[in-house]
Structure 1
Amino acid sequence: MMRLLLLAGTAEARQLAAALGSERRVSVIASLAGATRSPRPLGVATRIGGFGGAEGFADWLKRERIDAVMDATHPFAARISHRTAEVCDALGLSYVQFLRPPWMPVDGDRWHFLNDESDAARFIPAGARVFLATGRQGLERFANLEGRELVCRQIDTPDRAFPFPNGHFMVGAPPFDVEDEEVLFRRLGIDWLVAKNAGGSASRAKLDAARHLHLPVAMIRRPLQPEGPKLQTVAAALGWVRRRL
């Protein structure tokens, strides 16, 4: 029986866990980083939290006798992905990254591409009301957006104050539909949307809403991903596992 570690945290990882959980020839352990306080059960054995760096991760993989690792973390969890690829290569374990395609602009979109969060200040004018659909991680990199009013949406109730005097948190749990996002942006008087190019359908509604409202979008490009095999569909990921049984 194959022992597979599924690095989860995305909608597609949830689909993979559901499909692989019914595969009798695979023993799946899912891992969540712990970014969400009360994640929904994945239906397979799940661990939550870090591994203690590269050395701790390698020790855990050996102790649990893992045969293969599927990295289905968020496209912006690049540090985790690079470490995973390097450790798997050192141990001789099969490794693959599930990386959904990035979003691409369509007619009517007003996107401005950023290399990282700090680039937003070059495009967003003073006085703008900005919706940060980026979560709380990396929020400190928006420190140069003085003179703009910031609204940051996150899943969990904030456990600390907003880091800048010109902003506040709001709580919202996905999924969000396009109509609700339009209503929200109108109610808040949003002038700009900032988003990470995560790809996928689960969180695209905000971009469609911005297009309908003719709002400009500051789109943060993905970080560099590790070398190694990559898959873009759940079907391809399941096929990768079954070929190794």
Structure 2
Amino acid sequence: MASPASADSLQAGFAQLANTIPANVGIAYAPVGQNSAGTLGNLQNGVAWSTIKVPLAIAAIHANRPNAQDLAARAVTASDNDAAEQLWSSLGPAPQAAQQVQAVLRAGGDTGTAVESRRLRPEFSAFGQTQWPLARQAVFAAHLPCMAAAAPVVGLMRNTVPNQRWGLATIGAPTKGGWGPGPGGGYLVRQFGIVGTPAGSLAVALAAEPKDGSFDSGVAALNQMTQWLSANAAQLPGGRCSG
């Protein structure tokens, strides 16, 4: 993790940045290969939306489900919802599918997130409504480069379609974004990825709830946070896979 002095400096710097962004924002970060995360900002939890497609794709490929590779490519690179629903269905009844995706989270160091198996909002997937705190997501992302089963999906995260190359993708990171409206209509926009720092590799999870409720403003907030991370890379920790 960041040294105490660096952590304090990051907190102060991020607080200044957050005051300039018209959104509730948050970041969590975890050095690759490590099990603890640092956090910045007030927004530290929310539904997963399409970010959950990464462990879903890993679960389906690991289980060698029919067409899993092709469906995963669509679900991860283009955030295709139909492809994700097919991956989910291929894992069996919803409770069984949720357990398999949850097992991927556990293998990736996320010890607490419960994958949602019930369709809480009829117009959206069950799994996308999983509550996934940023810190747990960052720790999961910090394990992805070290998990053999995740390698094909990390490769897909490097090849997102052009209109989804925002936030961490603007600096070349493998990423997966997620976004959608809350019950009140305002959007949550979130993303996780793996960035390089002078100290190694760092998993980062970002989230924004823009004051105007729009998707575009959420993306703009994630872009601003990414620029800030790049400018402060020297203060950020990093890690690598052991062995």
TM-score higher than 0.5: no
With a CA cutoff of 8 Å and minimum separation of 6, indicate the structure with the bigger relative contact order: 2
- Of Structure 1 and Structure 2, the greater helix share is in 2
Question: Normalising to structure 1: TM-score of the pair?
Answer: 0.26
- Of Structure 1 and Structure 2, the greater strand share is in 1
Larger Rg: 1
Question: Normalising to structure 2: TM-score of the pair?
Answer: 0.26
